[in-house]
C-alpha cells in the first residue's frame, strides 16, 4: 500500500516587510509524517493558486493548521475591527469551501486551532474574537512574561494548561480511552455559536468548546482547539488523535483506485 498524502494548508506571512510567503509550521509536517504515517504536502492558502478539485485529486486527507490570523468575521455576519487583526481572507477563501467539499466526499480532515474554528464557520457557526472577555472564561492565550512579551520557552508556552471534559461514549472519549484530558492553550478567538452540523464533543473547565466533529460526515472530520501538533510523538492524547487520522487516511487510500 502506498503512503497516504496529506495536504497541509499554508498561511500568508511577510518576510522583511517585503516578501509574501506561504508557510506551514514544521511541527505540523512532522506530526503528519511521524505519527499519522503520511507524506505532508504543503499547499497555498491562495484561491487563485489552489484549485480544490485538483488538490483533492492529489491528496488523501487535509490538515487545517493553526495560524495567527483570525477568520474574517464577515463570514459569520460581524463587522471587522482593527483590534482583532490580522485576518487572512485568502486562506478563508480556500479553507471554508475545502472543508465542505472534504466532508461531502468523505476525505479525512483534521482541524487544529484556526482549522477547528474554520470547520465551525464552514457549517454556519460563529466565533468570538476574544473568548477571555466573556463572563466566566479564562485567558486561553499563550503565557507571557510580566513585561508582556510572549514567554521565550516553548515548553512553557505549549504546556498543558487546562482540562477538557469529553462527552461520555463520544468519538473523542472512545479515541482517548477517557472522559477527561489536559491540553495546551494558545488562542484568543474561539467558537461562540456552533454551526448546524457541529457536534460538541469536549469543553474546557470554563465551557469553552475544545473538541468537535461534523455530524453525519462519511469520513474522519474532527477538530480540536488546542495545538495537538506540538508533541504527538510523546503526548499520549495528541498521539492518539494523529494516529486515528493516519488510520482514516489508510482506509481512504485502500479504497481508492490506483493512481498512475
pLDDT at site 154: 81
Query: What are the angstrom distances between the C-alpha of 3 and each of 45, 60, 251, 255?
Result: 24, 10, 11, 13
Does pLDDT of 221 surpass 60?
Answer: yes
Contact 62, 108 (CB under 8 A): yes
Query: What are the angstrom distances between the C-alpha of 198 and each of 68, 122, 135, 188, 213?
Result: 23, 10, 23, 20, 6
Whole-prediction pTM: 0.93
Report the greatest alpha carbon distance in the chain.
57
pLDDT at site 16: 85
Does pLDDT of 42 surpass 80?
Answer: yes
Cα 133 to Cα 110: distance, rounded to the nearest angstrom? 28
Catalytic residues, by residue number, are 113, 227, 229
Does pLDDT of 228 surpass 90?
Answer: yes
Select the CATH number that applies to the domain covering 5-129+188-254 from these four: 3.40.50.880, 3.40.50.300, 3.90.1150.10, 3.30.420.40: 3.40.50.880
Cα 188 to Cα 201: distance, rounded to the nearest angstrom? 20
Q: What are 77-94's pLDDT values in tens digits?
A: 888 888 777 889 999 999
44 SS3 class: coil
pLDDT at site 178: 96
Query: What are the angstrom distances between the C-alpha of 38 and each of 8, 50, 115, 128?
Result: 11, 21, 19, 34
pLDDT at site 57: 95
Q: What are 119-139's pLDDT values in tens digits?
A: 999 999 999 888 787 787 887
Cα 239 to Cα 230: distance, rounded to the nearest angstrom? 10
Amino acid at each position: 500500500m502506498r503512503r497516504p498524502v496529506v495536504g497541509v494548508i499554508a498561511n500568508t506571512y511577510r518576510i522583511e516587510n517585503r516578501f509574501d510567503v506561504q508557510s506551514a509550521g514544521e511541527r505540523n509536517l512532522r506530526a503528519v509524517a511521524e505519527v499519522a504515517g503520511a507524506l505532508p504536502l504543503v499547499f497555498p492558502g491562495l484561491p487563485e493558486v489552489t484549485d480544490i478539485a485538483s488538490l483533492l485529486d492529489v491528496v488523501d486527507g487535509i490538515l487545517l493548521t493553526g495560524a495567527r490570523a483570525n477568520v474574517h468575521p464577515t463570514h459569520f455576519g460581524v463587522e471587522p475591527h482593527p483590534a482583532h487583526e490580522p485576518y487572512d481572507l485568502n486562506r478563508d477563501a480556500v479553507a471554508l469551501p475545502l472543508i465542505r467539499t472534504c466532508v461531502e466526499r468523505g476525505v479525512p480532515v483534521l482541524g487544529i486551532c484556526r482549522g477547528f474554528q474554520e470547520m465551525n464557520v464552514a457549517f454556519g457557526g460563529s466565533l468570538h474574537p476574544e473568548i477571555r472577555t466573556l463572563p466566566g472564561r479564562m485567558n486561553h492565550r499563550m503565557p507571557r512574561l510580566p513585561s508582556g512579551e510572549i514567554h521565550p520557552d516553548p515548553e512553557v508556552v505549549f504546556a498543558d494548561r487546562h482540562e477538557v471534559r469529553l462527552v461520555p461514549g463520544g468519538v473523542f472519549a472512545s479515541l482517548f480511552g477517557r472522559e477527561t484530558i489536559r491540553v495546551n492553550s494558545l488562542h484568543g478567538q474561539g467558537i461562540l455559536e456552533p454551526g448546524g452540523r457541529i457536534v460538541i464533543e469536549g469543553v474546557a473547565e470554563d465551557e469553552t468548546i475544545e473538541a468537535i466533529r461534523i455530524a453525519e460526515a462519511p469520513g474522519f472530520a474532527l477538530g480540536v482547539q488546542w495545538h495537538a501538533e506540538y508533541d504527538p510523538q510523546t503526548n499520549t492524547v495528541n498521539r492518539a488523535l494523529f494516529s486515528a487520522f493516519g488510520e482514516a487516511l489508510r482506509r481512504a487510500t485502500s479504497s481508492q483506485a490506483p493512481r498512475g
